[in-house]
Structure 1
Amino acid sequence: MTPRLDAIGLVASDMAASLAFYRRLGLDIPADADTAPHAEATLPSGLRVLWDTEETIRSFDPEWTRPPGGGERLGLAFACDSPAEVDSVYAELTEAGYRGHLKPWNAFWGQRYAVVLDPDGCGVSLFASAE
């Protein structure tokens, strides 16, 4: 048997804040997950996104500490239907108080591309074909 990618795990310092961010990107996450130590969302492809609080991680790994530099080591990418949608989603998120990292631009590789940081500092790319 060959292992297959089944889930992407995120560690949240503030579960409700993290889930609110990803709900704005269209993930279907139950409202009661905001106070849970663990939450999951299954994407249409079957891939799951998992969130655990820092306390949950420390419950089985007492030596765990937040990596230096925040969430820079992980990045998620969300496909948008058009360049205009990249711009509008970026604007919606930054106007809601999330920190923009790269404003929308026409990347040399043929995409409209932008990056917003989630509440834990993980880069979240927004992209669409520039054509």
Structure 2
Amino acid sequence: MTPRFDAIGMVVSDMAASITFYRRLGFGFAEGAEMEPHVEAALPGGLRLMLDTEEVVRSFDPEWRPASAGDGRIGIALLCQSPAEVDSVYQDMVGAGYQGPRKPWDAVWGQRYAGLLDPDGNGVDLFAPLPGAGQ
């Protein structure tokens, strides 16, 4: 048997804040998920994004401590349909009060790129191929 990639798991300090952030980006968490200690959203290709509260993780790992900024927090990247969508989604999220430390720019590798932070400081990149970039 060969293990297969099935899910991305993230520990969150505030489930409601994280659900609100990821729903705004289009993730389909069930109604009432804000009140649950563990939630999952289906992703394209059959993968899942799983969120667990810090309390859940401490229930089976009492020594667990949240990582500090720069200690290898997880980052995810979201493919947008166009460079204009990168700009639009970025502006929507920043306009809603979320941190956007990397404003949209045209990266040398042929993509429009921008960076957001979720409520726990995890990186969420937005990207789309630039026209004529050969991707």
Q: TM-score range by the shorter chain?
A: over 0.9
Cα distance in structure 2, aligned partners of 1:39 and 1:73: 19
8 A contact 1:71–1:120 mirrored in 2: no
For structure 1, the 5+ residue unaligned runs are none
TM-score normalised by structure 2 residue count = 0.94
Partner of 1:34: 34
| Matched residue count | 131
Partner of 1:88: 88
Q: Residues 72, 45 of structure 1: CA spacing in aligned structure 2 closer, same or farther, 3 A cutoff?
A: same
What SS class does the counterpart of residue 113 from structure 2 fall into? strand
Cα distance in structure 1, aligned partners of 2:30 and 2:70: 26
Alignment of 1:52-71 (within 5 A): 52-69=52-69
Cα distance in structure 2, aligned partners of 1:71 and 1:93: 25
Q: Shift in Å at residue 31 of structure 1?
A: 2.1
Do residues 11 (structure 1) and 45 (structure 2) align?
no
Q: Shift in Å at residue 85 of structure 1?
A: 0.2
Root mean square deviation of aligned Cα:
1.2
What SS class does the counterpart of residue 100 from structure 1 fall into? coil
Q: Shift in Å at residue 68 of structure 1?
A: 1.8
Cα distance in structure 2, aligned partners of 1:72 and 1:112: 24
Partner of 1:127: 127
8 A contact 1:72–1:123 mirrored in 2: no
Q: Residues 92, 71 of structure 1: CA spacing in aligned structure 2 closer, same or farther, 3 A cutoff?
A: farther
- The percent of aligned pairs where both chains have the same amino acid is 61
TM-score normalised by structure 1 residue count = 0.96
8 A contact 1:10–1:51 mirrored in 2: yes
Detail structure 1 runs of 4+ shifted over 4 Å in the superposition. Answer: none
